[in-house]
Amino acid sequence: MTFTARLTTSARLLTAALGLTLTAGLSMATAGTASAQTGEGEQVMLKGSTTASYYWDDASGRNGDTGLPASGKPMQKGLAASPSWPLLTEGYVLYKGRKAPFFVGDRGPGIPSNRGVMLDLDAKTFAQLTGGTFNADTLGVDGNGGKGHIKVTYVITKWGKGVGTKNHPKPFATGAWAKKDRNPAEPVTVAPAAPSATEILAAVLRTAAL
């Protein structure tokens, strides 16, 4: 093969490699978005969806709060209430491309959980997810269009060690929050990682050099 022919072939292969790299990059970006939205690609204990409300229970007596959270942890951003998961369970929620970590530090919602509202996020996290701001005077969320309930995807990454159901949430009235669960949900299988764009480019260039 002449030098010119070899150069032309290499150029074509390089162009193809760049095309594959761009395609792979776009695919990875799409996969990354999917992963961020569904929890795929990582080891998780549980994944599902529910309606979430919000609260801020700082024991001040404002807004009808009932005292410090059940876990003994002070009210803070990331502290959520669950009607059935063990206290100190950890995870995160996803809402319209936004992700926020939480840990179960309290019990609730009460009666709303009978209607499918199975997670009470702290007001600061709720504000972050909905594009609003936390109002320290009212303990509510302003500037989010009046949203008080949102549909979220929840991902549990670590179960708490105490009593409570280690599976999809159950209404507070069932008493699941007080029962020791010895049969937790099986962890979700880790999805295989896709090859990186750099790895694809390196493989094509190695082929071109042959």
pLDDT the model gives residue 4: 45
Best CA proximity match to 133, nearest among 119, 147, 120: 147
CB of 157 closer than 8 Å to CB of 85: no
Q: What is the pTM of this model?
A: 0.72
d(CA 89, CA 164): 10
What pLDDT band is residue 20 in, cutting at 50, 70 and 90? very low
pLDDT value of position 145 = 97
